[in-house]
Structure 1
Amino acid sequence: MHRLAVATNAETFERMQAPLAARDIEVGHVETAERTLPLDESPFDEYDIGFVYPSRIMEGAVADAMLDVPWVNDREAILRSRNKADVLARLGRADVPVPETVMVSNPASEAELTAAFEQFDPPVVVKPNSTTRGVGVAKAHDLDSFLGIVDYLDLVHDYRAVGDQSFLVQEYIADAADYRVMVVDGEYVGAVERRLPEASREQGRWKHNVHRGADAEGQALPAALRELAEDAADELAIPYLGVDLLVTEDRAVVNETNARPTIDSATKYEDGFWDDLAALIRQTAEQ
């Protein structure tokens, strides 16, 4: 039996315990953040493999050193997926369709910012380069609003301790369906459509993040969209990946990726999902 260290204690940890135990993989929680960690002796039990590298990179490095295990999605995979601009640049160069995007490295002159805004038909989406769950993402309908959003980002980036001082200006794709597609070891294993309740849409809400109130409903995707998600995971070389697709009547693009995606309820995945995940875990442990 393999012993799997899981660096989260939320839905994913709870949902994976019984299915993986049935496949001879014992799941344990390793608490890596919001605690004290003496550095002279490991407080963790013995494990064979980790799932996935902790979200806090500094604390994760300490846990990684103490556990000394291979990870399903290692540190490099987490950092690559978290950098939205890196993902879009890699995918775009590989001819995987992505939204039109400009990266801004702060500080940039008002002339440069204006030129970036004018490349798009408003509105534009402004998003921090490395946040998750839709944090800090805004929509600007005109130049003054855009420059006002940038002013707030300037204030945040003025703190020298802020490591990432970049953000993205991106086309707004209206009326797009928003899918989170799961790919395990290069293969499509299921998808959900994230959709805001009607009442929220009537209030002008537009972000489809589940953590912002959207519902996630299981969907059977056509082959072309499955292949698009698989192409993205293959190009990024990330074995366990959530791929976010925006789909309209005439196009589909990879909007973002998540190398630490939450595992949803089993009804939202293809038959064999847990077998595929268990196989990836065993394969990683044997590396």
Structure 2
Amino acid sequence: MIYIVPKPTDTPTDNSTGQVISELEKAGAGYGILDLDSLDPLESNLERELIWACGIRQNGHDFEALNVLALDNCVVNTPESIVTCACKVTTTALLLRQGVNTPRTLFTPSCERARSFIEECGKVVYKPLYGFDGNGIRLITDVADLEAPPWYLQEYVWNDRDFRVFVIDGEAVGAIERVSDSLTHNIHQGGIGRALPVDPEMASIAEAAARAVGIDYCGVDLLLDGRDYTVLEVNGTPNWHCMAAPIPKLLAGFLIGKEREMRS
């Protein structure tokens, strides 16, 4: 049995959970739905089960509920990796530790250090520490434009598009290019996506980013910095809009294989 935590942002026309469930049904795999709001993780009676969290809300309850469930079960993605991806500072630290190319970044509560960084870079991108869907990202040229510290700031890399690469079990399986006239090219912010082949350089850096954060599957967001790709962030509960690769089928196959491994 595969237990599923549905994505809270699913809609009838954009149902990530439902797409994977459909593939599980085609494969004859048994599954059940877990509602974290109604489940008491301290008395769940679940043990040695596979739990797939298609998505969770970024709040203490959902994170802690998954953490408790992970004590006696296999949770995909692990709560630790979801939290890591939700925190931009930790993600950046892990990328740097593993030598994965990422824009020059500063995390600080110091106005003086922020001012110096902005002056050195000319333009920086401010990102909320725990943001999602491109919300709250702004271009900053003056420290006076910043609100309350601490601040996560990245050197601005000129671009007119970005790329998302979907990685499952260490392998880059699909990619899209996202284009818009705004600072962020996220589809939730009006970006237009189109599928494209995964080139070797794109695959290499996306797979390295997934290894760096220790995650089963993810969406890795990239920019081209000159001729090289650089990692913007790693998404622990990613969408797969516009991808030509059959992501729901691939995810379902990964989950079925994972559960079989547990039973063998």
Establish whether residue 82 from structure 1 lines up as the match of residue 59 from structure 2.
Answer: no
CA drift at 1:47: 9.3
**In 2 relative to 1, CA 250–64 (structure 1 residues): closer, same or farther, beyond 3 Å?**
closer
CA drift at 1:19: 1.0
Please give the per-residue CA displacement for 1:27-83, whole angstroms capped at 9, x wherever unaligned: 4432324xx6668865x9999321127344532223664695321111111111112
- Native 8 Å contact 1:183 1:233 kept in 2: yes
CA drift at 1:90: 1.6
Establish whether residue 133 from structure 1 lines up as the match of residue 133 from structure 2.
Answer: yes
- Native 8 Å contact 1:5 1:50 kept in 2: yes
**1:192 alignment partner in structure 2:** 176
- Native 8 Å contact 1:123 1:171 kept in 2: yes
Distance in 2 between residues matched to 1:38 and 1:6, nearest whole Å:
14
Give the secondary structure class of the aligned counterpart of 1:118.
helix
Distance in 2 between residues matched to 1:248 and 1:116, nearest whole Å:
19
Distance in 2 between residues matched to 1:15 and 1:232, nearest whole Å:
26
Distance in 1 between residues matched to 2:42 and 2:87, nearest whole Å:
33
Give the secondary structure class of the aligned counterpart of 2:244.
helix
Please give the per-residue CA displacement for 1:10-37, whole angstroms capped at 9, x wherever unaligned: 121121111122223334432324xx66
Q: How many residues align?
A: 256
- Native 8 Å contact 1:176 1:246 kept in 2: no
**In 2 relative to 1, CA 24–135 (structure 1 residues): closer, same or farther, beyond 3 Å?**
same
**2:222 alignment partner in structure 1:** 245
Give the fraction of aligned pairs with identical amino acids, expressed as a percent.
23
Q: Aligned ranges for residues 89-104 of structure 1 at < 5 Å?
A: 89-104=93-108
Distance in 2 between residues matched to 1:24 and 1:135, nearest whole Å:
39
Distance in 2 between residues matched to 1:225 and 1:93, nearest whole Å:
19
**In 2 relative to 1, CA 54–275 (structure 1 residues): closer, same or farther, beyond 3 Å?**
closer
- Native 8 Å contact 2:240 2:247 kept in 1: no
**1:62 alignment partner in structure 2:** 65
**2:25 alignment partner in structure 1:** 21
**Which structure's CA Rg is the greater one?**
1
**1:162 alignment partner in structure 2:** none
- Structure 1 length-normalised TM: 0.77
- Native 8 Å contact 1:193 1:219 kept in 2: yes
Give the secondary structure class of the aligned counterpart of 1:92.
helix
CA drift at 1:251: 2.1
CA drift at 1:183: 0.6
- Structure 2 length-normalised TM: 0.83
Gaps of 5+ in 2: none
- Native 8 Å contact 1:8 1:30 kept in 2: no
- Native 8 Å contact 2:166 2:218 kept in 1: yes
TM-align CA RMSD: 3.0
Distance in 1 between residues matched to 2:41 and 2:208, nearest whole Å:
41
**In 2 relative to 1, CA 27–95 (structure 1 residues): closer, same or farther, beyond 3 Å?**
same
Give the secondary structure class of the aligned counterpart of 1:128.
coil
Q: Which amino acid aligns with 1:167?
A: W
